[in-house]
Amino acid sequence: MSRFMRALQKAGLVELDEQAEPVVAEAPAESVSAVVMDHAGTTSAPLPEAAPATAPVVAGPVAEQRPFEDIYAEQGVPAATFSAEKLLKIFDGLAALDPAARIAAVRALDAADDAWTVDDALLDAERKSRALGAARGQLEQQARAALEQARRDIAERDQRQQDAVGRIRSQITDLEALLEREVARATEEKAALENGARATKDACLREVARLDAEAERLRRLAATFGTPPPG
């Protein structure tokens, strides 16, 4: 641990762990670039950047509140010699100073300790920013894919509904025709039964009249000639 960093620790400007390295803290990686931009209004020379890994769009529910470390690992961000979060921790620890003094103090820490550099943290911040942007793009693509899939599913469901309604209406038409035929046949059968009953009744009446007429004729014969002898 450098004497300069020990002095900052005693002044309460930074917190150091047992290995004399800044304590890691989670913070947005995007704000790290302000450290160099505020210093003389320029940035250091660009460093090689690792391209984020391209991950396939995952269907299904979105996993929220995922640790940033998992996202960085999925996007292929390599381990940094000095992470952006560590630099943010130092920079935030110097919040009591004015912006120019904060930049100068960070630069002094950088110069006093060969174990890390501001450029290492800035490269890590750039890689992580790109990784977060790629993850954001994947989420947007996943949302679009979910909407498109929902539209396709709704269209298929509408088509199935139309097919089912058409079949049901066709069946209703067939059933209505069957109902009309059944009613007509029942009406015809009832009329036939009624006509048959009337015909039977009329035949019975005619036969009864014929029998009555014959019986009357026989009675008149008996009355004409008297009562026949016994035996």
Give 36-59 pLDDT, tens digit per residue: 444 334 344 344 444 445 555 555
pLDDT in the model for residue 93: 87
Domain boundaries, given as residue ranges, for the chain: 3-161
Q: Are 16 and 9 in contact (CB under 8 A)?
A: yes
Q: Are 51 and 107 in contact (CB under 8 A)?
A: no
pLDDT in the model for residue 54: 54
3-state secondary structure of 45: coil
Supply the angle between the helices 118-225 and 99-112 in degrees, to the nearest 10: 110
- Calpha distance 172→148 (Å, rounded): 36
- Calpha distance 91→93 (Å, rounded): 5
pLDDT tens string 196-225: 999 999 999 999 999 999 899 888 888 888
Residue 193: pLDDT band by 50, 70, 90 thresholds?
A: very high
Cα three-residue angle 40-45-49, rounded to 5 degrees? 130
Question: What's the full length of the chain, in residues?
Answer: 231
The residue type found at 227 is T
pLDDT in the model for residue 59: 59
pLDDT in the model for residue 231: 55
3-state secondary structure of 22: strand
More confident residue, 18 or 85: 85
pLDDT in the model for residue 40: 34
- Element spanning 224, H or E: helix 118-225
* Whether pLDDT at 22 is above 50: no
Q: How many CB atoms lie within 10 A of CB 2?
A: 15
Residue 32: pLDDT band by 50, 70, 90 thresholds?
A: very low
Residue 23: pLDDT band by 50, 70, 90 thresholds?
A: very low
Residue 183: pLDDT band by 50, 70, 90 thresholds?
A: very high
The conformation of residue 217, written as its DSSP 8-state character, comes to: H
* Whether pLDDT at 151 is above 70: yes
Mean pLDDT of the chain: 79
Q: Are 29 and 129 in contact (CB under 8 A)?
A: yes
Q: Tokens 């550099």 correspond to what residue?
A: 117
- Cα atoms in the 13 Å half-sphere on the side-chain side of 203: 6
pLDDT in the model for residue 179: 93
**Encoded tokens for 78:** 């390599």
Q: How many CB atoms lie within 10 A of CB 119?
A: 17
- Calpha distance 21→114 (Å, rounded): 12
pLDDT tens string 99-124: 898 889 888 888 887 888 889 899 99
